[in-house]
Structure 1
């Protein structure tokens, strides 16, 4: 990994932790957008999967662990990272597709984990239905942050091109 990839990844890490813990309301988080965006800023496949999962782990250290459901949360984040590698071609359109697909994947996997753990719902359909408002906010935040990350990368590329031409 070169220093440029490392600096972008560290900045993204700090930015996501700060926003998700101190600024954003519940279920409005940049974590899925970050997992989707990692292939845009790094060719390091280990980093692409490790960074989003490590952010989840660090926030869980601060907020507390929540049992067996965590396996579904971490597993879905890894699957989202793998999906991002295959769908993303560097375009805004592929980023949008990854965002929508990833939140649907998250919704299905994590809420199945909630249901399996018997956290108060009578059926899987009820669990999925009750999660829709939360996961809708997650979809909005994923789309917004994916766009912010994409625009930031494009501005960075343009700034580098201007510097190179000077």
Structure 2
């Protein structure tokens, strides 16, 4: 069983790195989905935390490190903890994906507003920052829902078909 979890973890890291390196719409990545899925299905907490952080680190190595790494990586830890609450519920995975997208949007844009020097540090600057980020949020939400749907939907399908058949034959 340990080998299958490690294999899943390795595949998730590879898929995440490739998806971030290849051309894609801005912010349409599997990062939140991988973090939630790791939390939900990798029972070893260290492995669940390692997978998304390592995937981000490797892909950031290729595409460039940035000033928001503490916020982004910290959020990924939070998303893994969110994932621990999902278990195998598709409804919960959808809910946590939406909540995760919103929390990521708020945290990262607060950090951009507060630290980038691109916006005045007042209500007007905050509104401008969040307004200009809306197109990225749309892509993030879409990517998060698509990738979470693929990961959690595939696992639900496997749990109902392949894994049930394997248990019956054992």
TM-score, scaled relative to structure 2: 0.87
How far apart are residue 164 of structure 1 and its match? 4.5
Unaligned runs of 5+ in 1: none
CA distance in 2, matches of 1:89, 1:29: 22
CA distance in 1, matches of 2:42, 2:27: 26
The Cα of 1:55 is off from its aligned counterpart by 1.1
Conserved? CA contact 2:40–2:83, under 8 Å: no
CA-to-aligned-CA distance 1:17-66 (integer Å, 9 cap, x gap): 22222153221001111101113321111121221111111111111222
Q: Secondary structure at the match of 1:100?
A: helix
Q: How does 1:141-152 map to 2 (within 5 A)?
A: 141-152=143-154
Aligned pairs for 1:83-98 (under 5 A) are 83-86=82-85, 88-98=86-96
Separation in structure 1 between the aligned mates of residue 66 and residue 130 of structure 2, nearest angstrom: 19
Unmatched segments (≥5 aa) in structure 2: none
CA RMSD across the alignment:
1.8
Give the corresponding residue for 1:112: 110
Q: Which residue of 2 aligns with 1:129?
A: 131
Are 1:15 and 2:18 matched, yes or no?
no
Q: What SS class does the counterpart of residue 28 from structure 2 fall into?
A: coil
Deviates more, 1:26-35 or 1:13-22: 13-22
Alpha-carbon distance between aligned partners in 1 of 2:72 and 2:60, rounded to the nearest angstrom: 11
Structure 2 Cα separation of the partners of residues 72 and 30 of structure 1: 17
Shift in CA distance, 74/12, structure 1 to aligned 2, threshold 3 Å: same
Matched-pair contact (CA < 8 Å) for 1:80–1:105? no
